[in-house]
Structure 1
Amino acid sequence: MSASLETTPPPPARRRVTRPALDAEGVRVVLRTLLFRGASVPAWHDDAACASRPRALFFPDTDGARPRAATVRAAKDVCRRCPVRAVCLEDVMTYESPAHRHGVVGGLSAAERHHRHGLHAAPLGASS
């Protein structure tokens, strides 16, 4: 009596799904969607001085460290000349999560926006 061994075929190899890398415009679309929680992107974005600049200037990859002072100054210089700086800052202070501040927006660094948010969140008449 010979024993026949039945073997099951190996499972098919898993195909690795690769996603295409986002170009600069794709990154902007994703960020706008996340920042504005699905609401329409304000029209002033088209007039922003940063629209034609590299994203990394305003949101440098610092691996958790503080960004270099020269990088922050360069981003702020662009913001300083921006015709929509005030409304940009107003929007970021409305939509940005205080726990996730990063980069230079509206002419202020993440630390400056954090400080400003604390000032605006304090009850009127509270002493510092």
Structure 2
Amino acid sequence: MEIFPAGNRPSRRASSDWFTGTVWQDPIVEAPDPARLRALRVSFEPSARTAWHTHPLGQTLYVTEGVGLVGLRGQAPRVIRAGDTVWIPPQEEHWHGAAPDTGMAHIAMQEARDGSVANWLEHVCEDDYGAAPKA
């Protein structure tokens, strides 16, 4: 067993290679092999979001604060709110982030396959982000 005391692992700013806007990540768990679970608390400032990406074994998001958006390739983004859970199947191209005027935080849970949890693609263009319904 291993206990990670609160505040013992620093927040880190998410890479601009994979995120638009200001996004902070706080580690929850990166379980050692043979376990595959990886989880982070991710906090998005208004309008901040991920790039398009996929996960080899899918992803679960649990929204803890605020209002956000989640988008699938070829579809208008959908509004998500605190308390919502989102399941994204393996290899489905998607993005997620905060609404234009409201921050959002979620717990992102995914499993690693051969050490990889995500395949990052291009940034979400303003037209795709702006196609969202009003939060």
TM-score after normalising by structure 1: 0.24
Q: Larger % of strand: which?
A: 2
Flag the structure with more relative contact order, 1 or 2, with Cα contacts below 8 A and sequence separation at least 6: 2
Q: Which is helix-richer, 1 or 2?
A: 1
Q: TM-score, normalised by structure 2?
A: 0.23
Rg: which structure is higher? 1
